Structures are given as structure tokens and as C-alpha cells.
Structure 1
Amino acid sequence: MIASPIPDEQMPTEAEILGAPDENYMDPRQLAFFRARLLHERETLLDAARETAINLQQQIDAPADPMDRATLEEDHMLELRVRDRERKHLHRINKALARIENGSYGWCEETDEPIGVRRLIVRPTATLTLEAQERRELRRRFDS
């Protein structure tokens, strides 16, 4: 686990991050805030994955009734699809943590402009400004 350089009691709040002046963009306090948020999100996903594994192991005995068995299998498939989506999100979280470490977190990978604190609070794994993301989605629609 990546240790935060700021003690928990001194960790800035979301309101402090939002109210910070532009010249504080991605300073050590903001980076510590986003690192803590990403680590918490990663731990939540890993806990859910462990819980899924335990649930699937506990339900090895299939019910005798075909309808009950079908319902159980459908529930398992749904849970596995959710976990697969979460696995992909976990990969994005790890990449965001790596960007914090290498100093590129918070900067658009296409334009090198600040992504913006508001956008990062909503989506801490964002790699593009809102405008760059919209352009990318528009290109995808036209390319399809």
C-alpha cells in the first residue's frame, strides 16, 4: 500500500480541494487527497471480489429444482459480469495511482491541460479533460 505523506487528521476535505486556488493544482495535498480516494476505492473493489469468491464457493451445491438452478446460475453470471467490470476499473485505479507517483496525474493525456479538480472528484481515474473526452466520443461515433 502506498503511504500518504499527509497524516489522516491533516488530509484536506473535498470542500478544501474544491476551494483551493488554481496555483495549488496537483500540489502535494491534492495528490494525497486523490491517492487516498483511489486507495479507498481500490480496497472496496478488492473486498467485493473477495466476497464474490466466498459466495461462489459456498454455493457449490446446485439446487435440485431446475428453475432454482437456472436462477442461481443467472445470479452468478450477473455477479461475474459486475466483477469483470470492476476488474477493469481496478486496472484504471492502479494506472491512476502510477500517474500520481510519476507526476502526470491530473493532466490530460491528449492536451497536457489540467483535467480539473471537479472532474477528478467525480471520476478520479479520468485521463482526459471533459472537452477531450467529448471529442474522443464524437470521433468514435463517426468511426462506427
Structure 2
Amino acid sequence: MPSSSKPLTEAALLKMPASAYMNAAQLAFFRERLEALRDEMLSNAADTGEHLKENENFADPNDRATVEEEHMLEQRVRDRERKLLKKINSALTRIETGEYGWCLETGDPIGLPRLLARPTAEYSIEAQERHERKEKLHA
């Protein structure tokens, strides 16, 4: 029996037959990718928290304004990451429930290329485009 301890690569993933879609190896690949992304974001958030706690005193008001602007930008990035963190946790839950990789609207496969580009994808490209068109109409 060959050892399966070697991690699956993107190329090997894409070479798998369609019948292997969302098999155990593929699910493990995406779980690992999502967990790594989640861990990186949690680490960034902790770093930001420490960075924002630093209380610097500046004699020059321009220096203070620059630092405050940097803090605001950093917080906006972390807000975006917080939203992405919710999507990552949702994707990890879908892996556990066997729903990962399948469009929540149609039940069709989302597709490996799309999941590699956006591992938190919940919809096939067609369903996502429909959602975006509806959003534009109602905006």
C-alpha cells in the first residue's frame, strides 16, 4: 500500500478524475488550506491588537496623524479579515457536514479551479453571477 503522507499538490488535485470530486484527499487538502488561512488571520489580528495597544507620544502632530491613519487602515484590513474568517469557519463546517464543494443554490459541483482560487466559495460561478446581478438590481 503506497504511503499517502505526501501532501496533495494543486496540480495533482486538478489531475484527479471527475469521479474523485470531493473525495477524502481533496477534502483534507481544502481543510488544511482553510485552517492555514484561518491561523494566519488570527495571528495577524493578535499582532494588530498588540500594535494598537502601543501608546506612542508624538511631539509633531503630523507624525501622530500619520500613525493614526496607519491604524485606521490596519483596522479596515482586520475588519475585512474578520468577515473572511466567518466564511472560512463556514467552509470548514461544510467540510465536516459533507456540503463543501457543492453549490448551496443548485447542488452542482463548484469546481476545483474555483475552489483553489477561492476556497470559501459557496456557489458555482453561474449561481454567483445570478446573485451579483440580483444585488445590482436591488441596490
- Percent identity between matched residues is 52
Q: In the alignment, which residue of structure 2 is the partner of 1:3?
A: none
* C-alpha distance in structure 1 between counterparts of 2:48 and 2:97, whole Å: 33
Using the TM superposition, give the Cα deviation of residue 65 of structure 1 relative to its aligned residue in structure 2, in angstroms: 1.3
- Mapping 1:52-91, distance limit 5 Å: 52-58=48-54, 60-91=55-86
What TM-score, normalized to structure 2? 0.94
- Mapping 1:1-144, distance limit 5 Å: 9-58=5-54, 60-144=55-139
What TM-score, normalized to structure 1? 0.91
SS in 2 for 1:9: coil
Gaps (5+ residues) in structure 1?
Answer: 1-6
SS in 1 for 2:58: coil
Gaps (5+ residues) in structure 2?
Answer: none
Using the TM superposition, give the Cα deviation of residue 140 of structure 1 relative to its aligned residue in structure 2, in angstroms: 1.0
* C-alpha distance in structure 2 between counterparts of 1:78 and 1:18, whole Å: 37
Using the TM superposition, give the Cα deviation of residue 8 of structure 1 relative to its aligned residue in structure 2, in angstroms: 8.1
* C-alpha distance in structure 2 between counterparts of 1:62 and 1:81, whole Å: 23
Using the TM superposition, give the Cα deviation of residue 98 of structure 1 relative to its aligned residue in structure 2, in angstroms: 0.4
After superposing on structure 2, the runs of 4+ consecutive aligned residues of structure 1 that deviate more than 4 Å are: none
